[in-house]
Structure 1
């Protein structure tokens, strides 16, 4: 049997009948009917726990019989007894044993004997009633070492043994002889143990709670030995009133992104009037804030509904909205140094996912983003800081994506930008490019992927005339590349304004994939078993080939393949030109971080070209390292 006793006001006989004897009063008729049906069908009734609120009759899930003894100041002590089918109320034959209050005795079912285990009871109290206003004690035992006087016979035997061992021992002083002799004995001691010794500090005004109290509460509440990065303590009023404390842990929980969006998150615990209700809420916080820990306590939510119905309660949507706003405010207030060194390293990916997923808070989240940029080698920069440093006539935020900062920096797309002093953001995480794509603009400035078309520079009238003259001069070549040589792989060929050292590059259209995005998409397709070949081919058709217009050696190379130096007009001899163009396109693929898209036949053709005299001195002098890598790739494919 399990006994639960309080020292409240108790109940009279009339109140016992009224409150416990009328099933409808407890709102449990549906519960009892459901339980009876399940028992008749041989089903377990344990799953009913929590579906009918905190009704008194839920005791019959684990008990065959419930006995309630109660003493009120205005009546004698009575006993109410029920087996769920009927009840009776009688005078307690034991008389007034309670003084005042109530004792509930549960005669447990055999299959519910686990609830008689002391540790089970303690864990249940700590989980569900840790923060209620009244103290809860459990009658429990512990082993203590105590001093007990030695019996007379034991004392005589000890003295004889001691005398035999050492007759020459100096006699003790008289005052020591007068002291009673004792021995240490381990005994089992029974006493009341306080279970809910942690106070609900969220019920106190925030200004009255010390910083050390927040840290101590967090460690106990979350079972985390590290101090939190930050916390926020607030009371929300309006459509729903609730109190809450939210914490940012010092490190990301293990497996933070495992089963992202589907894995249960039990870091936010919901209380109603200090009674724990549940932590099994998938929508209490958005997915990207799945690292936030805290408590929410409201007096406005109902206790007499199932937890399933509570999850759909309209007030929870209001609570969620306010929790997100307060969380973002808390993150925003973290000091810059601590933000970069601690928070961003642990939870930066979460903020990027938030930009993608949370449209209503996208502007707030964008201000929390940090990226490596060409401005500083190690210190990340916010978008606000980037905009403040923008050049006078710069109207776009430039970014370059790659697997690492080093790869992004060495891209041919960076050459002209860095030479002209433009700052470029480096995107090195797979989620980064998705994040930026979800942001149409920041502070009125649109984003520009430097690996895509659309990068423009201010130029003088003289420079513009020179560029237009070169475009006209090379129009036969670029047209031939687009319509003949590379018609299946590119959308157009143009002379480049963005290259200074590299001979060529492949530029994606505004809606195509950059080399970095192609790598990510192909990796995802490989993991899921999907085929993206159709989409990949369509993307290839949107590539733009850029030939440097500032490299005389390259121009000479094109002419030496059969073009007329005086006019570059059709018809011209294309012998050798296809091989040279093919070499350029393969270099472009490597430089622009795209994968090689052609088959073995063209690989062999390219390999043959590399071993002939058509490879000029310019090729080895300017792109030696890239050529060595390309030969290695080609040999691998040929073999």
Structure 2
């Protein structure tokens, strides 16, 4: 017994869980018997299936009473008196083999957790088939059973009296009991009555005679969904989630049968938990759902029940398949848990998809109305709140869906249909990939997208000039997760994704005349592109004639396997990022030029006229590249050189000579290095009254003209304030 008490349970709070679970089982048994024989329930108070908890704080007694099936004398001996035979040897063997001793319900010894908080326990019980008995023990190795002739008749059921240890008086506090009951009593909500502990024993009065319902959350997961009202779901959600922010967006309630049987109620909160994304990757972060096994609470840390990206869900799963001695290791390996997880994810995704479908139907109906089309009489169109549910869900959990695409290969296809984005044709309303595909131009094979920090930045990007001019729709990626999502989604509905900021962008609407013209332009600018690549060296992998530009002279795009400018910015912003990794895509940059732009044509003519080695042409080509680098969203590799070239151009426009010098202060310019320090030392000596050394006459004469010249120069020089 000492081993069991001190080794099996590490948390004293669970004693109340075990007692409530046992009481719940007793209530279930009598209810089951009453289905075929209603007389077993009796009449009056005996027919009330309930659990009552009461306190006698003055005498340090905590009592728990149920009106369940009760126990006979033989049941007391079998269930409470044969611990050595039923469990101790097996428990010791498990410990010696290095097994997990933090088990729940193992070896049928749950009742004995009461000795964590009590030094003396009495169990008064009455079964319909036997007289009322009392079992008592101090956990010292012995127990006694006797007929209860002095106690109050129970009628039926069990009363457990815990004589609390002095160091366990926290469990005689109402607030503590309410907190524990709220955690452990979802199946049969207990009632509580307190007896005052302040008054002397002779004058003690009942502080509160009525019984307070501690937890009125009914076990709705055991009932059929059609028998549960909306109000019941909302009430149960608040109890199980402790969310005071309002009602849930929706819920899933079903019973799974077959090889793996379980019942579940899962809720989608209206708002994401405040720390859901902040602690997304934290090790040891609690899971989303509570796990029960045959209505016995096991843990609220069952992170294996749903994947991490669904960690915002709240609710519970009650399994009839998992063993009661389910530990962390067992949960991770048990095949039934994997089946439960698979079914839960599918059901939750079905719920979310139904919201998305309702949204799509509402949009279609609204569009048909605007276009004057008659509504389809056979199709039921949702109204009101149903049209807004998915929009609200996406605002709270859009990032979670994207994380699911990144992490969950199995459900990636289903999640892709739930993604929402702004586009060039839908800049203020989220659109789906299905809607994008339905609007694609004839012959279009790619889904075009561009990532940036904001919609405004993307809309003005030179990468999109020809795409937008020709009427192609472009998806705007403004979330930092979007580019990571694209790394895991190659295509959608047989359509490839194409990043508008990368090389080899293809448009499908070019005819033979355009293709021929493009070929001629590439040939015409071949010398310029080859020379320009030589000028830029390893800064770019190539220089090409562009087909994506319309009004911009040139642009820098990422190579096929390089990082886009947006991705480079994201990588640089990461606190623990290796700068060398952020620059891995540097050699993958490509300069694309617009052969129709007058700047590019003028540069081509200047290059042919002045020659490849002309410094001015080389400088202009480098300056154009660096300006394009900035406009394309990349960081400058040589900002000092870029700034010098810009200043040179501004100076030329202002008529300054290339070798114009900065005018410095006369004293600073005239004083050789170290002279200022010597002069300050001499001045200090003069102030201290020390005699100055007389200057020789020849040196004095030589110094006079110099001082006169300095005075004359000072008259001509501008005042210091003017400088």
Name the TM tier (shorter chain). 0.7 to 0.9
For the residue of structure 1 that corresponds to 2:182, the secondary structure is: helix
Separation of aligned partners in 1, 2:180 and 2:235: 22
Q: Deviation at 1:574?
A: 2.6
Separation of aligned partners in 1, 2:148 and 2:236: 47
**Residue of structure 2 aligned with 1:21, choices 78, 81, 92:** 81
Q: Deviation at 1:53?
A: 7.1
**Residue of structure 2 aligned with 1:597, choices 632, 637, 660:** 637
Q: Deviation at 1:29?
A: 5.2
Separation of aligned partners in 1, 2:348 and 2:62: 43
Q: Deviation at 1:517?
A: 0.7
1:471 match? 522
1:480 aligns with 2:480: no
Query: Deviation per CA, 1:509-529, whole angstroms, max 9, x where unpaired?
Result: 1110111111001111xx11x
Separation of aligned partners in 1, 2:148 and 2:520: 114
1:296 aligns with 2:342: no
For the residue of structure 2 that corresponds to 1:240, the secondary structure is: coil
Query: Deviation per CA, 1:482-529, whole angstroms, max 9, x where unpaired?
Result: 1x21112001101111100001101111110111111001111xx11x
Q: Deviation at 1:206?
A: 1.6
Query: Deviation per CA, 1:289-320, whole angstroms, max 9, x where unpaired?
Result: 12112221222222244466445433222111
**Structure 1 unaligned regions, length at least 5:** 36-45, 143-185, 566-570, 616-639
Assess, with a 3 A threshold, how the Cα gap between structure 1 residues 600 and 138 changes in structure 2: closer, same or farther: same
Q: Deviation at 1:17?
A: 2.2
Assess, with a 3 A threshold, how the Cα gap between structure 1 residues 611 and 393 changes in structure 2: closer, same or farther: farther
1:208 match? 227
2:423 match? 373
1:131 aligns with 2:187: yes
1:118 match? 174
Assess, with a 3 A threshold, how the Cα gap between structure 1 residues 82 and 465 changes in structure 2: closer, same or farther: same
1:449 match? 499
Tell whether the 8 Å contact from 1:440 to 1:446 is kept in structure 2 after alignment.
yes
For the residue of structure 2 that corresponds to 1:138, the secondary structure is: strand
Between stretches 255-264 and 287-296, larger displacement belongs to 255-264
Query: Deviation per CA, 1:542-571, whole angstroms, max 9, x where unpaired?
Result: 1111110112343023312x4149xxxxx6
For the residue of structure 1 that corresponds to 2:187, the secondary structure is: coil
Assess, with a 3 A threshold, how the Cα gap between structure 1 residues 246 and 22 changes in structure 2: closer, same or farther: same
For the residue of structure 2 that corresponds to 1:126, the secondary structure is: helix
**Residue of structure 2 aligned with 1:611, choices 627, 633, 651:** 651
Tell whether the 8 Å contact from 1:229 to 1:250 is kept in structure 2 after alignment.
yes
1:437 match? 487
Q: Deviation at 1:466?
A: 2.4
Q: Deviation at 1:587?
A: 1.6
1:70 aligns with 2:125: yes
Separation of aligned partners in 2, 1:33 and 1:246: 39
**Residue of structure 2 aligned with 1:546, choices 551, 576, 592:** 592
1:243 aligns with 2:263: yes
Assess, with a 3 A threshold, how the Cα gap between structure 1 residues 540 and 349 changes in structure 2: closer, same or farther: same
1:630 match? none
Q: Deviation at 1:122?
A: 2.9
Assess, with a 3 A threshold, how the Cα gap between structure 1 residues 412 and 60 changes in structure 2: closer, same or farther: same
2:346 match? 325
Q: Deviation at 1:333?
A: 0.7
Separation of aligned partners in 1, 2:113 and 2:330: 18
1:153 match? none
Query: Deviation per CA, 1:383-408, whole angstroms, max 9, x where unpaired?
Result: 00000110111000000111001101
Separation of aligned partners in 1, 2:488 and 2:654: 46
Between stretches 512-521 and 97-106, larger displacement belongs to 97-106
Q: Deviation at 1:92?
A: 3.9
Separation of aligned partners in 2, 1:325 and 1:614: 70
1:585 match? 625
Between stretches 19-28 and 253-262, larger displacement belongs to 19-28
Tell whether the 8 Å contact from 1:28 to 1:57 is kept in structure 2 after alignment.
no
Tell whether the 8 Å contact from 1:497 to 1:549 is kept in structure 2 after alignment.
no
Tell whether the 8 Å contact from 1:288 to 1:350 is kept in structure 2 after alignment.
yes
Separation of aligned partners in 2, 1:601 and 1:330: 58
Separation of aligned partners in 2, 1:226 and 1:93: 50
Separation of aligned partners in 2, 1:600 and 1:521: 23
Larger strand fraction of residues: 1
Query: Deviation per CA, 1:526-549, whole angstroms, max 9, x where unpaired?
Result: x11x4323x444422211111101
Separation of aligned partners in 1, 2:240 and 2:326: 26
Separation of aligned partners in 1, 2:108 and 2:623: 74
For the residue of structure 2 that corresponds to 1:70, the secondary structure is: strand
1:512 match? 562
Between stretches 107-116 and 47-56, larger displacement belongs to 47-56
Between stretches 488-497 and 270-279, larger displacement belongs to 270-279
1:252 match? 272
Tell whether the 8 Å contact from 1:53 to 1:307 is kept in structure 2 after alignment.
no
Tell whether the 8 Å contact from 1:281 to 1:311 is kept in structure 2 after alignment.
no
Q: Deviation at 1:16?
A: 2.3
Tell whether the 8 Å contact from 2:135 to 2:146 is kept in structure 1 after alignment.
no
Alignment of 1:493-572 (within 5 A): 493-524=543-574, 527-528=575-576, 530-533=577-580, 535-560=581-606, 562-564=607-609, 572=612
Assess, with a 3 A threshold, how the Cα gap between structure 1 residues 340 and 417 changes in structure 2: closer, same or farther: farther
Separation of aligned partners in 2, 1:53 and 1:343: 44
Assess, with a 3 A threshold, how the Cα gap between structure 1 residues 265 and 88 changes in structure 2: closer, same or farther: closer
Tell whether the 8 Å contact from 1:582 to 1:606 is kept in structure 2 after alignment.
no
Between stretches 238-247 and 322-331, larger displacement belongs to 238-247
1:349 match? 399
Separation of aligned partners in 2, 1:243 and 1:552: 72
Query: Deviation per CA, 1:354-377, whole angstroms, max 9, x where unpaired?
Result: 111111000000000000001123
Q: Deviation at 1:432?
A: 0.8
Q: TM-score, normalised by structure 2?
A: 0.71
Assess, with a 3 A threshold, how the Cα gap between structure 1 residues 375 and 349 changes in structure 2: closer, same or farther: same
**Residue of structure 2 aligned with 1:89, choices 115, 134, 144:** 144
Q: Deviation at 1:339?
A: 4.3
Between stretches 473-482 and 396-405, larger displacement belongs to 473-482
Assess, with a 3 A threshold, how the Cα gap between structure 1 residues 614 and 330 changes in structure 2: closer, same or farther: farther
Between stretches 495-504 and 52-61, larger displacement belongs to 52-61
Q: Deviation at 1:613?
A: 5.5
2:71 match? 11
Alignment of 1:276-287 (within 5 A): 276-287=297-308
RMSD: 3.0
